[in-house]
Amino acid sequence: MSSIENLRIHFYGVQGSSSVFPSRGDRVAMREDADVELLRQLFSDLESRAGEQGTLDTSVEEILGGPVDRKTLLAYRERFDLPEPPIYGGWTTCCRIETADGFDIVIDCGSGFRNCARDLMAKWGDREERDLYILGTHSHYDHTEGFDQAVVCFDPRNRIHVIANRRYLRALDQHLGIFSRQVEVSLKGVMTPLSYRKMPARFDSCEIRDFDLKPPRPDHDPLVGRYHDLNEPLNIGATSIQPIEVFHPSPCLAYRIEHGGKVFVFCTDHELRRGDDPEDPRQVASLEAEERLRAHCMDIDILYRDGQFLEIEYDGHQGVDAPRGMSRMDWGHSTMEDVLAMAEACRVKRSFIGHHDPNRNWAHRQWIDQILARKSEQTGLRFQLARAETVVDL
């Protein structure tokens, strides 16, 4: 792989709420598309070889360039430009960032963290320095569930620094005891057979909190090793990271990540609330969070943002992949239309819309992506649904 100029971003999990894979119907449809495309290109190849009368004066071996076996057939297929089926989701939230100065940063440990950890271990090989910085957004299960399945937690050489709000740290600690080195007796084995005793990596924690509202406690805190002020950027090597408070039923952070003048904002689980009552404190808090987020997104290079619903789904006029709808207000997620409006207003160069609704089938995802491609052509900005296994360089 080429060297990293500033940041290399890997999306391992972009699925909202729970891990979801294409259904049988989705897979059949995908295979049908692939088959049709292959047959179309195959017959146009044959047509190009035909004589004036449309007849073929050749053998199958000659067309294939060898005997009819697996190897030759695969080599023949390679000549065509066949599209890959899209991987929209699958695993829940996990994003990895490699920096030009050699640091490894991960945002959230949804089920995508398992594959991410495997790649980290392959990269580190026999290296002595093995530090991983995990930025947590919020405590919900789809952002923490992959933690105890990740191979990085089981190697005593690894140092894992978790930086997040208090609830995120507590969510990881209460069943595993990785920071406090204790698990409450009543929680032992309830969610997982594992605990810190079986996880020999070295863990430490840093709590992000608003020092104006809650200054750090001077007494010993078993959950937290150190504190960081929400309003200050934190630095990992030459990378500057600004936490941003967003609006969600559980306190949630977005992150603005800057290196060498290039900027990536990762904002999962944020709701731009579409309520009618401007006095409603939730409405006020949501708008304030949206403004804060926008201020940090002006002219940035890449945005990943939660756009779980379409407007008609949020408002309850239509269900997600179902005819009957219900209002999605206060579920904690924004609409795609809101993400597009924000990205346009902030002149974001490239936007990935993620945290896909688990009920949205693959055909619907592809249809939305086609609309986003047209929107990109119209605006000169790039929009697409986030896909797992995507790597972007900045």
Q: What angle do CA 137, 143, 149 make, to 5 degrees?
A: 130
Query: Which tokens belong to 357?
Result: 């609704």
In whole angstroms, how close is the CB of 138 to Zn ion at the nearest point? Answer: 6
Contact (Cβ atoms closer than 8 angstroms) between residue 168 and residue 214: no
Q: Using the minimum distance from each CB to Zn ion, give the nearer residue, 10 or 140.
A: 140
Between helices 362-379 and 336-345, what is the axis angle to 10°? 20
Q: Which is nearer to Zn ion, 14 or 342 (CB)?
A: 14
Give 353's contacts (C-beta < 8 A, 6+ positions apart). Answer: 305, 306, 307, 336, 339, 372, 383, 384, 385, 386
**Residue placing its CB nearer to Zn ion in the complex, 242 or 334:** 334
Minimum distance from CB of 332 to Zn ion (Å)?
5
Q: Shortest approach of Zn ion to residue 164 CB, angstroms?
A: 13
Which residues form the interface with Zn ion (CB under 5 A)? 140, 142, 269
CB of 190 to Zn ion, least distance (A): 21
**Phi, psi dihedral angles at 24 (to 5 degrees):** -60, -45
Minimum CB separation of residue 93 from Zn ion in Å reads 6
- Among residues 295, 385, 278, 275, the alpha carbon closest in space to that of 340 is found at 385
For residues 173 and 306, which CB has a smaller minimum distance to Zn ion in the complex?
306
140/228 with CB nearer Zn ion: 140
Strands (E) across the chain are located at 7-13, 94-99, 104-107, 131-135, 159-164, 202-209, 226-229, 234-236, 239-246, 252-259, 262-267, 302-306, 350-354, 382-385, 390-393
Nearer to Zn ion, 104 or 108 (CB): 108
CA distance 28 to 342: 36
CB of 141 to Zn ion, least distance (A): 8
Rounded to whole angstroms, the Cα distance separating 331 from 135 reads 23
Judged by CB, which is closer to Zn ion: 142, or 245? Answer: 142
Q: Which residue is nearest to Zn ion (CB)?
A: 140
Closest CA to 304 of 354, 261, 245, 257: 354
Which SS3 state, helix, strand or coil, does residue 181 take? Answer: coil
Least CB distance to Zn ion at residue 17 (A): 6
- Decide if 160 contacts 134 (C-beta within 8 A): yes
Beta bridge partners of 354: 306
If the CB atoms of residues 207 and 269 are measured against Zn ion, the closer one turns out to be 269
**Least distance CB 112 / Zn ion (angstroms):** 12
Kindly state the smallest distance separating residue 269's Cβ from Zn ion, in Å.
4
Beta carbons of 319 and 233 less than 8 angstroms apart: no
Q: Closer CB to Zn ion, residue 258 or residue 357? A: 357
Q: Going by C-beta distance under 8 Å and a sequence separation of 6 or more, which residues neighbour residue 195? A: 175, 176, 177, 183, 188
